[in-house]
Amino acid sequence: MDEQYMKMALDLAARARGRTSPNPMVGSVIVKNGAVVGRGYHKKAGTPHAEIHALKEAGEAARGATIYVTLEPCCHHGRTGPCTEAILSAGIKRAVVAMTDPNPLVAGKGLDILRKAGVEVVSGLLAEEAAKLNEVFIKYVSTGMPFVLLKTAMSLDGKIAAYTGHSRWITGSASRAYVHHLRDSYDAILIGIGTLMADNPSLTARLSCPEDGVKGKDPVRVIVDSLARTPPEAKVLTQISAAPTIIAITAAAPEERVQKLVAAGAQIIIAGNGPKIDLPYLFKSLTAIDITSILIEGGAAVNASVLEQKLADKLLWFIAPKIIGGKEAPGPVGGRGVAAVSEALLLERISVQRFEEDICLEGYLRK
């Protein structure tokens, strides 16, 4: 029964996917005498935590009950008060927690407070599932760097475009719809200037059937553009969107171009002296403004830079059953590449799923 209730709490937590950054997704369920008396999940940073919502719904029924939480209850004052205090005040007698909080401000302290107050604490139930749910938060709070997902789509023969540069559409509508859900759940989307000049993309989250009436959330758009070549009339700058567009340039970018981009509404980050963008510096700068996750949708050059510098955590590789051909047609990863197959980057924790006719391979880069 503990596992059943924890799965319920994990499902609740996932409802806020893409909405809690820079906080984690957390769900909570309160059970008394075999009945669920309270449910809650953290909906947005700065709002009450999952435990508070669940305790409020349970009311007096929380006294003597068991609380299930997907992440260790906080024990410090932030934008909200400590959840440990609320749990103790409500008279909870047993707490089942999926995983400890990697945040150094908590990191086991919350569980210790509950135990010392006489609450029976069980920790580690469905910890792997809880960690996957909050892989973004764990990377961000543990390293100070964003979680990076590199997504690409290619034909069966490994092409991302024809030799002419034409690339719409490699994958089918089901794959593209899934990518818009990804955009909705990530803080930022990043492309290179080559992709922008070739496609003039919108980089918005266009959800065809938003769940529960939730409107799509556009990610912050990040353009890697060392010499500020982005046209001021590009869609990323002229379309109506609540999300800003950040253009990462180097100190070598002509000032006149930079000022035109600022006048068009772009936010500028100077990341390096040139000729290329200092990607680690850029990513660190993005975390400073609470961007905890980045979806890479770049072309061969950006993909190569991200992979060569081992900045990606996870890969999402769509393969369409099409053959494009042509030795001049680009592949998904440029750069020089490795000298021997034995030096190739490896993936682990691999899974495969279908999106109608397309195949999608997901895996984590082996560090």
β-sheet bridge partners, residue 360: 318, 353
CB 161 within 8 A of CB 267: no
User: Tokens standing for 132?
Assistant: 């996957």
The verdict on whether residue 110 carries a ligand-binding annotation is no
Indicate if 51 belongs to the active site. Answer: yes
The verdict on whether residue 297 carries a ligand-binding annotation is yes
Q: Residues near 217 by Cβ (< 8 Å), separated by ≥ 6?
A: 18, 19, 184, 205, 243
Pick from 226, 129, 148, 142: nearest CA to 188: 148
CB 71 within 8 A of CB 52: no
The verdict on whether residue 49 carries a ligand-binding annotation is yes
The verdict on whether residue 299 carries a ligand-binding annotation is yes
CB 166 within 8 A of CB 278: no
The verdict on whether residue 53 carries a ligand-binding annotation is no
> How far is Cα 185 from Cα 51, in angstroms, rounded to an integer?
23
Burial 17-45 (b: 16+ CB within 10 A, else e): bbbbbbbbbbbbbbbbeeebbbbbbbbee
The verdict on whether residue 302 carries a ligand-binding annotation is yes
First to last CA, the chain: 37
The verdict on whether residue 183 carries a ligand-binding annotation is yes
β-sheet bridge partners, residue 191: 223
The verdict on whether residue 74 carries a ligand-binding annotation is yes
The verdict on whether residue 169 carries a ligand-binding annotation is yes
DSSP letters spanning 303-361: HHHHHHTT--SEEEEEEES-----TTS--S--SS--SSGGG---EEEEEEEEETTEEEE
The verdict on whether residue 339 carries a ligand-binding annotation is no
The verdict on whether residue 317 carries a ligand-binding annotation is no
The verdict on whether residue 155 carries a ligand-binding annotation is no
The verdict on whether residue 303 carries a ligand-binding annotation is yes
The verdict on whether residue 209 carries a ligand-binding annotation is no
The verdict on whether residue 199 carries a ligand-binding annotation is yes
Strands (E), the chain: 27-32, 35-41, 66-69, 94-97, 120-123, 147-155, 188-192, 220-224, 245-249, 267-270, 293-296, 314-320, 347-355, 358-365
The verdict on whether residue 264 carries a ligand-binding annotation is no
User: Tokens standing for 329?
Assistant: 């047609």
Point out the catalytic residue in the list 51, 120, 255, 362.
51
**Binding-site annotation: residue ranges for substrate:** 167, 183, 203, 206, 297
**Binding-site annotation: residue ranges for Zn(2+):** 49, 74, 83
**Binding-site annotation: residue ranges for NADP(+):** 153, 169, 195, 199, 226, 299-305
Residues marked active site are found at 51
**Binding-site annotation: residue ranges:** 49, 74, 83, 153, 167, 169, 183, 195, 199, 203, 206, 226, 297, 299-305
